[in-house]
Amino acid sequence: MRICTARCSRCLNCVSQCFFNAISTASHDLVIDEALCTDCGMCRDSCPMDAISDEMHDDPVETAEQRGICLYLTATAGRLSEGSLEVLGAGLRLKEHNRQRLTAFLLGEYVHEAAEEAIRCGADEVWMAEHSRLTPYAVDLHAGLVTDWLKELGPSIVLSGDRSLERSVMGYAAVRLHTGLCADCIQAAIDPQHEGLVVTRTAFGGQLMADIHIPRHRPQMATLKEGAFRPPPVYQPSGGLIVNRTDDISGLNSVYELLESRKIERLRNDFANAQIIVAVGRGIGCAEQLDSVYELADLLDARIGATRAVVESGWLDVTHQIGQSGTIVRPQLYIACGISGALQHTIGMDQADRVIAINSDRDAPIFQYADYGIVGDVRQVLPRLSERIRERRAARSRNGMD
Amino acid sequence: MDIIVCVKQVPARQGEGSGRESVPLINNPNDLNALEEALRIKELADGSRVTTLSMGPPGCEGLLRELLAAGADEAVLLSSPGFAGSDTYATSKILAAAVHKLLPFDLILTGERAIDGETGQVGPGLAAILEIPHQLGVEQVLTFDPHSVIIDKVNETYAWRIRLPIPALLTIRRSANTPRIPSIRGRLAASSKQVIVWDQHDLGLSGAGIGSRESPTQVIRTVKSDYSYKSRGAAVFIGEHQLDEILETVSAALDQPDGRPL
């Protein structure tokens, strides 16, 4: 809700009507406290001057000020995080369509090198705040600063990755800016028909794919599923500038107090550099059958992936999960063992260079995603496959000795 | 401690359409971890009160009774035709209006994600509207006093022990605990408890900014799972005797870093 002060007669009808005490009379101009306002509309309905409106309806969607793409990026060990590189890649591709200005936000304890990296990748501008108080658990400082900067820049599109801090910051900022946020998107494009950002995400365990847009609110905000977007293809320096906005946090302190910190093993299995992944579904029958999977994976120096069903059955831990609710992978070879091929899973493996699928059901959807299909019992096929690989190796090394 | 636990009702079987009416509903499993954490705190702090808060169709009362049977003191269902189709922002607004009616509170707990929408955004959104601190991915609430709590949380790289002021909102991980099964005594006790139902009017919401039409995000189209992104054609089916042939093909595509042949 917003009060048009030019129309307001200061009758205070709205103040008495407001259930949430959200309207302040402290200054001459009445002000609605966004933190308390629930947009219930009681004030609007009570105003004899029609001075109160739901800002959603009277703001033109795309004004001259509301332009540009903002990216909320993060750095790890001084470098842009992998997810942030993908966000930058997605932002650059959107920019190709509408030539909007691309501004990256980088906040953290040590980010200036990552800021330079973002410029080298093609960002037009980087707004940077580098301070020891901007720890990754200081969600409030990050969220507050990002929200203020977005208000200042008024961009049309805001993108970020999907990790814990980014989800906190984007969730907070979207509400403070009264706009929509699409989570975990696997595609993002400018759609001329809908004159804006159209994103694709899955829901209902990946059984449903939805194209979503934000028609009447700006900015259009989205978090991007890690692994679903390509990093910037080549360095394309734009001669961009780094704007140091560290002063913006002077006087601000986080409410979060760190008592202990410990680095943990990556919650996401290290699939990023995996050339071969052997992935298992419930079709392998039982957890004991994992032995033949381990055997093959050892032979191929492969990582082991799993479907959500396998993880939920407790056969493998969540770090192995591949798919919409797990990791998106791009190995050179993907061997799908006893995986039926639900969309929830195939989203995570569809970009593999080569796919071999083994399943006893000839009609399993996984075969639609595979280059080679083996209709058979995983329990028999996998040991055969391992055996053939050992034999080939033996033959090769014999030949090598000749 | 006064604790509000947000519990979503979601389709029991995944993949049977988005029409929630046609599929039986269950309480979102991860939200039950939040309830369990609330009940655990209640056992430690005398005089605590646990209220569950849900938004869904009127038929959900039976599921809310499960929450009462597990030990919640009160279950509130927000149900109104005008709420249907709300996106995460609109849902956060409706929940915030209900939280204002439930004041005061010390903690709001919920799961990290629902198994249907999987956005994980209502928690941060609700905290932003209420202007309270929030932390995602909480494993445990360790200690609490009238002004603060100490939590263990994890993100992708770190495990942290953090103190934060209350009231606050925390999302609880699935690995945090094992939700209890309601006892017979709990079920008997629940039968005398009421499920409170509030509609749009009870919450004083005009309809602006809520429901499917007024939600900022709009679904253009949905496609069921037969839709695929695949760039390759359907698989070439091969017999086991052709394994060598495949290995030859794929090994050519693989450049083993250590020079080992596939």
Q: Is position B220 within any domain? A: no
Sequence ranges of chain A with CATH classification 3.40.50.1220: 276-401
Cα dihedral A264/A267/A273/A277 (nearest 10): 130
Task: Determine the Cα–Cα distance for residues A344 and A355; give it in Å rounded to an integer.
Answer: 17
Task: Determine the Cα–Cα distance for residues B206 and B235; give it in Å rounded to an integer.
Answer: 55
Q: How far is CA A369 from CA A208, A229, B58, in A?
A: 17, 19, 41
Q: Is position B205 within any domain? A: yes
Helix or strand (DSSP H, E) at A159:
strand A157-160
A260·B119 Cβ contact <8 A: no
Q: Is position B117 within any domain? A: yes
pLDDT band for position A59 (cuts 50, 70, 90): very low
Q: Is position B188 within any domain? A: yes
B154·A264 Cβ contact <8 A: yes
Q: Is the pLDDT of residue B40 over 90?
A: yes
Residue A153 or residue B241, greater confidence: A153
Superfamily of structural domain A276-401: TPP-binding domain (3.40.50.1220)
Exposed e or buried b per residue across A153-177, where buried means at least 16 C-beta atoms within 10 angstroms of its C-beta: bbbbbbbbbbbbbbbbbbbbbbbbb
Q: pLDDT of B53-111, one tens digit each?
A: 999 988 888 899 999 999 999 999 999 999 999 999 999 999 999 999 999 999 999 99
**Conformational region of residue A262, where left means phi above 0, alpha means psi within -120 to 50, and beta covers everything else:** beta
B204·A38 Cβ contact <8 A: yes
Exposed e or buried b per residue across B92-118, where buried means at least 16 C-beta atoms within 10 angstroms of its C-beta: bbbbbbbbbebeebbbbbbbbbbbbbb
Q: Is position B256 within any domain? A: no
The residue in chain B having the minimum alpha-carbon distance to the alpha carbon of residue A382 is B240
| Tokens encoding A360 | 């006893």
Quick one: pLDDT at residue B259? 47
Assess whether the previous peptide bond of A136 is cis (omega < 30° from 0): no
Assess whether the previous peptide bond of A219 is cis (omega < 30° from 0): yes
Exposed e or buried b per residue across B125-161, where buried means at least 16 C-beta atoms within 10 angstroms of its C-beta: bbbbbbebbbbbbbbbbeebeeebbbbbbbbbbbebb
| Tokens encoding B182 | 């309601």
pLDDT band for position B249 (cuts 50, 70, 90): low
Q: Is position B182 within any domain? A: yes
Residue A183 makes CB contacts below 8 A (sequence gap 6+) with: A162, A167, A201, A222, A223, B88, B118, B119, B120, B121
Number of structural domains chain B divides into: 1
Sequence ranges of chain A with CATH classification 3.30.70.20: 2-58
Interface of B with A in 204-233 (CB under 8 A): 204-209, 214-225, 227-232
A179–chain B Cβ distance below 8 A for any pair: yes
**Dihedral pair phi/psi, residue B114, rounded to 5°:** -95, 150
Q: How far is CA A287 from CA A228, A276, A291, A299, A317, in A?
A: 29, 21, 8, 20, 12
Interface of B with A in 91-130 (CB under 8 A): 92-93, 96-97, 100, 113, 115-121, 123-125, 127-130
Beta partners for residue B111, in sequence order = B172
Quick one: pLDDT at residue A74? 97
CATH class for the region spanning A2-58: alpha beta
CATH class for the region spanning A69-249: alpha beta
CATH, residue B159: 3.40.50.620
Q: How far is CA A60 from CA A63, A134, A196, A216, in A?
A: 6, 35, 14, 8
Candidates B113, B118, B151, B223, partner chain A, best to mutate (most A CBs within 10 A): B118
Q: pLDDT of A249-287, one tens digit each?
A: 999 999 999 999 988 765 456 777 788 999 999 999 888
A369–chain B Cβ distance below 8 A for any pair: yes
Quick one: pLDDT at residue A350? 85
Q: pLDDT of A335-380, one tens digit each?
A: 999 999 888 788 888 888 889 999 999 888 898 888 888 888 888 8
Quick one: pLDDT at residue B200? 94
- Enclosing domain of residue B177: 2-214
Task: Determine the Cα–Cα distance for residues B37 and B153; give it in Å rounded to an integer.
Answer: 13
The residue in chain B having the minimum alpha-carbon distance to the alpha carbon of residue A180 is B216
Count of pairs with CB atoms under 8 A, one residue in A, one in B: 309
Percent of chain A with pLDDT over 70: 91
Cα dihedral B100/B101/B106/B108 (nearest 10): -80
B82–chain A Cβ distance below 8 A for any pair: no
- Lowest-confidence range among A40-49, B16-25, B45-54? B16-25
Q: Is position B44 within any domain? A: yes
ipTM of the complex: 0.85
Mean pLDDT of A119-136: 95
Q: pLDDT of A204-239, one tens digit each?
A: 666 678 899 999 899 999 999 988 898 887 666 778
Percent of chain A with pLDDT over 90: 44
A258·B218 Cβ contact <8 A: no
Interface of A with B in 248-277 (CB under 8 A): 255-264, 266-268, 275-276
Amino acid at A95: K
Interface of B with A in 51-70 (CB under 8 A): none
Quick one: pLDDT at residue B19? 47
B208·A260 Cβ contact <8 A: no
